[in-house]
Homo-oligomer: A and B are copies of this chain.
Amino acid sequence: MLNFNFYNPTNILFGKGQMSELDSLVPKDSIVLITYGGGSVIKNGILDSVKTELAKSPRKVLEFGGIEPNPKFETLMKAVALVRAEKVDFLLAVGGGSVMDGTKFIALAAVADEFKGQEEKLLSYGFNPVPVATAIPMGTVVTLPATGSEMNSGGVVTRGEDKLPVFSPHVFPKFSILDPELTYTLPPVQVANGVVDTFIHVVEQYITYPVDARFQDRTSEGILRTLVEIGKTTVDNPTDYEARANLVWCATMALNGLIGSGVPQDWSIHMIGHEMTALFGIDHAQTLAVVTPAMWRVRREQKKEKLLQYAERVWNFTEGSEDERIDAAIAKTEEFFHSLGIKTRLTDHGIDEAGIERIVKALEKHGMVALPETGDVTPEVSRKILKAAL
């Protein structure tokens, strides 16, 4: 097991009706800004419920809607201006990963005086914490299970064609309300994306190389098996509470630091996928579903031991040669994604060899020239992976 640091102070309130705790969770004398996305929370009534709860104490409540998927720096800076002008002292993100990620950026940028006028620099620290002393406290009401943003300290913000990570321990949400029923009205494709996104968050921390971290491995395998069991059910039957509850909790656990503690991590699937989203507008999870099988085919030697473990413990493949077991596990993974309506080839998204070159160029531009976990995913290897995904 590798040395690690694990710290996660987010207060999770999980289950039916937890919205009723909101009034006790948000400071009663605060100036609150509710942040949300394209308006689904208006249509399905969740925003109204939030406002009703917040109105139970004499706080001032403001709203900022319109945070788009892959939240844009320019949009978020409008919220930053509002926060500064109105002296907002609590942020409440009501939405999915994009709203929560965007709100984390707002929380940092609004009070980072040393970055004032050059807030884009907050996006230049990669996976290192940004050098700030504080952030506006925030909470979340989660409406889309996928990103784990409700219980971690990071986000991804889009600036031009760049998808840029931003991290700070100051943006762990103070609380997150996870009521599976709040996710019932999601379009099926977003639920399917959430299942795949969660699955591949685990993959990035699990299918690397073994370091005898048994709790972490088995917890990862538990999430993967659960997703395989309940994925199609929760896409097809959105109001099946138990299936949805298992998805929601797995999505949080997949990216809150727990399964990645003390093990090597990859994230090259995400790095390549981010470029595909930025260049072609493909849904985040769908880019990952394309890259993952190809990544495993090209890097099967480097990942061999963990791929065999995955084949055995997630898919029960114990017979046949090593290559046969790995091939069977990759095929099963693709089959699983397909069963959710998620495609796994670049050509399914209209991307050809010329598109691959654009992706590889973007990786080079962003300095993604030696991706983890073994540092050998050069742009040339990325090209090979993308060609295997055609």
A5 and B9 contact, CB distance less than 8 A: no
Residues of B within 8 A of A253 (CB): 215
Chain B's nearest CB lies how many Å from the CB of A20? 11
Residues of the B chain whose Cβ atoms lie less than 8 Å from the Cβ of A222? 214-215, 217-219, 221-222
Cβ contacts under 8 Å, A214 to chain B: 222, 225-226, 229-230, 246, 250
Question: B4 to A14, Cβ gap below 8 A?
Answer: yes
| Bound Cα distance from A18 to B221, whole angstroms | 28
| CB <8 Å contact, A6 and B1 | no
Q: Which residues of B contact A221 (CB under 8 A)?
A: 218, 222
Question: Taking the nearest CB of chain B, how far is it from the CB of A172, in angstroms?
Answer: 9
In the complex, whether A245 has a CB less than 8 A from a CB of chain B is: yes
Residues of B within 8 A of A213 (CB): 246, 249
In the complex formed, the residue of B with least CB distance to A248 is B1
Question: What 1/0 flags go to A205-247 for Cβ under 8 Å of B?
Answer: 0000000111101110111011001100000000000100110
- Which residue in chain B gives the minimum CB-CB distance to A3? B15
A13 at the interface (CB under 8 A from B): yes
* Min C-beta distance of A19 to chain B, whole Å: 12
**From residue 1 to 59 of chain A, which have CB atoms closer than 8 A to chain B?**
1-18
Q: Kindly list chain B residues whose C-beta atoms are within 8 Å of the C-beta of A262.
A: 14-15, 245, 249
> Is A302's beta carbon under 8 Å from chain B?
no
> CB-CB < 8 A to A250: which residues of B?
214-215
Considering the chains assembled together, what is the distance between the CA atoms of A223 and B216 in angstroms?
10
Most chain-B Cβ atoms within 10 A of its Cβ — which of A3, A4, A6, A253?
A6
The answer to whether B5 touches A14, judged by C-beta atoms less than 8 angstroms apart, is: yes
Q: Taking the nearest CB of chain B, how far is it from the CB of A11, in angstroms? A: 4
Query: Which residue in chain B gives the minimum CB-CB distance to A227?
Result: B214
Check if A14 sits within 8 Å of B218, measured CB to CB.
no
Residues of B within 8 Å of A230, CB to CB, are 214
Question: A261: which of B2, B14, B16, B219 is its contact (CB, 8 Å)?
Answer: B14
Partner of A15, one of B2, B10, B225: B2
Smallest CB gap from A169: residue in B: B11
Question: Which residues in B have their C-beta under 8 angstroms from that of A225?
Answer: 214, 218
CB distance from A382 to the nearest CB of B (A): 32
**CB proximity of A248 to chain B, nearest CB, Å:** 9
| Chain A 245-261 interface mask (CB, 8 Å, partner B; 1/0) | 11001100100001001
Q: What chain B residues lie within 8 Å of A261 (beta carbons)?
A: 12, 14
Kindly provide the distance from the CB of A45 to the nearest chain B CB, expressed in whole angstroms: 21
Contact check: which of B3, B5, B7, B242 meets A1 at CB < 8 Å?
B242
- Rounded to whole angstroms, the CA-CA distance of A88 and B1 in the bound complex is 36
Cα–Cα, bound, A245→B16 (Å): 38
| Residues in chain B near residue A17, CB distance under 8 A | 3
Q: Which residues of B contact A249 (CB under 8 A)?
A: 1, 213, 215, 262
Cβ < 8 Å to B, chain A residues 129-149: none
Q: Which residue of B lies closest to A9 (CB)?
A: B9
B242 touches A212 (CB 8 A): yes
Per the bound structure, the CA–CA distance linking A14 and B258 in Å amounts to 13
Which chain B positions have C-beta within 8 A of A6? 11-12, 14
Contacts A1-B246, A7-B11, A218-B221 known; 7 new A-B pairs at CB < 8 A: A3-B14, A5-B12, A5-B14, A7-B10, A215-B246, A215-B249, A215-B253
